[in-house]
């Protein structure tokens, strides 16, 4: 388990060195998007229109923060469950996305897309939204305003802590549950 | 007869929403601490450390513990000798949720099931009313986040499957849920009643404190048995392995039809927003 400090946008070299289990402190700009925003993003890509931010080298964070109190750049901001984005993720990775951040297992197609396009999947601590928000220094909505809390945000992060769950070589950190030990095989 | 003013109900509910959003219950915090001491995997210990730090930070800054502040679920027990004055109790509870989620900077996550349009104020809440003896009004609030809610299930077992069948179903559910519901989780198990009632029982089981012991020794033993089995799954904090897959198991059981064995599993994440008030 190595530790890396990476700055966005990520390059192929940044990503290829990573292995499942590595700790990464991310800095730079990342973008928030979840179900509804992914649907819209894919509609734009399908019709040949430009996405609201450059996908090449980008990092997408599956998050939908709570409202920002007056004295903070953002509210609580932890990861949402990633499998719901698997409907769209392979397509988005094919346009150059280098990493997504979320929680929970990805499906086979998304894992394949990460191998094919040299990309990774990071996990952040689910349910630690208050703590994670302290690594986000700026946040502003840049697209799909009409989606309310699900709009796409551009967020500036400093040493945002993530773990490599799926690397670009097919490695995965999640282990299969031991049904036998639990007596339910 | 005791009279309770409707506006006091609204205020109490608003206050519960705000407090629950930012303050992890003491019994849950204590369980996380115990789990951290027990874990041998450095990753599991680090995740648990982050969850405890998150709880400390939320308490201090009043930021929500989790950005998903949940759909509001309330259990309202109205004493027979209580008279409510000044309006409708369901509206009063919803008004409290509206106020609490707005003033507490909590995320509004309730939407139309088909158009997905957000209702804008986190209402309607899910409200379970019950009539009980006495002159008190007791309200328990739970916030149910989407991640763990999506991993919950209701099933109708065959009576012949019995306790072994119940166990097998619960263990497989928690195993399949993996990292999705933000483990370590708290598992509410509803057994009996009818299809709908089992789900309500599973949810109601989650209103109990983690450190309380079921008054029926047989059920108390079953809770322990399931907890031990689930913690052998090795899912662990955040699904990254470890001895802490669940913080507790709570069972609620009731008689059911002789041809049925209704079973519901309600998974609640470690961010167990739970609050109680007695008026
Ligand atoms: S499952 Fe719970 S802790 Fe995890 S994101 Fe949802 S509400 Fe938050």
Tell me, in angstroms, the distance from the centre of ligand 1 to residue A149's CA: 16
Question: In this complex, which of B50, B54, B178 lies closest to A177 when CB atoms are compared?
Answer: B178
Helix axes B162-177, B217-230, angle to 10 degrees: 40
B267 Cβ inside 6 Å of ligand 1: no
Question: In this complex, which of A64, A68, A131 lies closest to B54 when CB atoms are compared?
Answer: A131
Contact A75 B178 (CB under 8 A): no
- Residue of the CA atom closest to atom 7 of ligand 1: B145
Tell me, in angstroms, the distance from the centre of ligand 1 to residue A103's CA: 10
Q: What are the angstrom distances between the C-alpha of A134 and each of A65, A69, A161, B190?
A: 12, 13, 11, 38
pLDDT (tens digit per residue) in A89-136: 999 999 999 999 999 999 999 999 999 999 999 999 999 999 999 999
Contact B182 A65 (CB under 8 A): no
Cα–Cα dist B108/A103, whole Å? 21
B64 Cβ inside 6 Å of ligand 1: no
**Contact indicator for A91, A42 with CB cutoff of 8 Å:** yes
Cα–Cα dist B18/A105, whole Å? 32
Contact B180 A149 (CB under 8 A): no
Identify the residue among A130, A139, A178 best suited for mutation to test binding to B, counting B beta carbons within 10 A and taking the highest. A130
User: Given ligand 1 and candidates B146, B177, B187, B206, which is best to mutate, with the most ligand atoms within 8 Å of its CB?
Assistant: B146
> What is this model's ipTM?
0.93
Beta strand ranges found along A33-172 (DSSP E):
59-61, 99-102, 120-123, 136-143, 152-166
Beta bridge partners of B249: B187
pLDDT (tens digit per residue) in B125-161: 999 999 999 999 999 999 999 999 999 999 999 999 9
Provide the pLDDT for residue B261.
98
- Residue of the CA atom closest to atom 5 of ligand 1: A127
DSSP string covering B210-246, please? TT---SSHHHHHHHHHHHHHHTTS---GGGS-SS-SE
User: Minimal Cα distance from B151: which residue of A?
Assistant: A81
Average pLDDT per run of 10 along chain B, which is 279 residues long? 97 98 98 97 94 98 97 98 97 98 97 93 98 98 97 98 98 97 98 98 98 97 98 97 97 98 98 98
pLDDT (tens digit per residue) in A10-31: 999 999 999 999 999 999 999 9
Q: Assign 3-class secondary structure to A87-110.
A: CCHHHHHHCCCCEEEEECCCCHHH
User: Minimal Cα distance from B183: which residue of A?
Assistant: A126
Contact A174 B47 (CB under 8 A): no
User: Minimal Cα distance from A70: which residue of B?
Assistant: B105
Beta bridge partners of B277: B139
- Residue of the CA atom closest to atom 8 of ligand 1: A127
Contact B179 A105 (CB under 8 A): yes
Domains of chain A: 3-166 (3.20.130.10)
């Amino acid at each position: 388990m190595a530790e890396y400090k990476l700055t966005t946008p990520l390059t192929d070299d940044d990503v290829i060195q990573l292995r499942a289990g590595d700790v990464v402190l991310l800095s730079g700009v990342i973008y928030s998007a979840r179900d509804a925003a992914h649907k819209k993003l894919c509609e734009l890509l399908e019709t040949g229109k430009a996405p609201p931010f450059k996908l090449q080298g980008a990092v997408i964070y599956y998050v939908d923060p709570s409202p920002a109190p007056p004295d903070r750049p953002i509210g609580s901001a932890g990861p949402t469950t990633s499998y719901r984005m698997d409907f769209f993720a392979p397509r988005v990775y094919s346009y150059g996305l280098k990493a997504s951040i979320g929680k929970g297992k990805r499906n086979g197609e998304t894992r394949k897309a990460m191998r094919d396009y040299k990309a990774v999947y990071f996990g952040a601590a689910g349910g630690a939204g208050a703590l994670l928000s302290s690594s986000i220094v700026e946040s502003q909505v840049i697209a799909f305003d009409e989606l309310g809390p699900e709009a796409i945000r551009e967020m500036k992060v400093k040493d945002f802590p993530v773990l490599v769950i799926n690397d670009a070589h097919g490695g995965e950190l999640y282990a299969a549950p031991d049904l036998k030990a639990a007596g339910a095989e | 007869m005791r009279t309770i003013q409707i506006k006091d109900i609204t205020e109490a509910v608003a206050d519960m929403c705000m407090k629950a959003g930012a303050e992890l219950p003491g019994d849950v915090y204590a369980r996380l601490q115990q789990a951290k001491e027990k874990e041998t995997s450095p990753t599991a210990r680090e995740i648990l450390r982050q969850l405890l730090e998150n709880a400390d930070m939320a308490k201090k800054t009043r930021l929500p513990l989790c950005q998903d502040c949940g759909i509001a679920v309330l259990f309202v027990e109205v004493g027979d000798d209580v008279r409510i004055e000044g309006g409708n109790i369901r509206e009063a509870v919803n008004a409290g949720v509206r106020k609490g989620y707005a003033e507490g900077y909590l995320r509004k996550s309730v939407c139309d099931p088909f158009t997905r349009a957000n209702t804008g104020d986190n209402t309607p809440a899910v409200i379970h009313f019950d009539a009980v003896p006495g002159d008190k009004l007791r309200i328990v609030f739970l916030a149910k986040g989407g991640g763990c809610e999506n991993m919950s299930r209701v099933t109708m077992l065959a009576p012949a499957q019995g306790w072994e069948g119940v166990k097998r179903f619960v263990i497989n559910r928690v195993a399949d849920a993996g990292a999705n519901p933000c483990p370590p989780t708290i598992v509410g198990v509803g057994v009996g009643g009818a299809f709908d009632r089992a789900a309500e029982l599973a949810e109601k089981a989650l209103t109990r404190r983690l450190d309380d012991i079921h008054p029926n020794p047989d059920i108390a033993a079953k809770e322990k048995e399931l907890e031990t089995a689930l913690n052998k799954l090795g899912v662990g904090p955040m699904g990254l392995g470890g001895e802490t897959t669940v913080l507790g198991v709570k069972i609620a059981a009731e008689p059911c039809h002789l041809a049925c064995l209704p079973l519901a599993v309600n998974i609640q994440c470690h961010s167990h927003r739970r609050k109680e008030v007695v008026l």
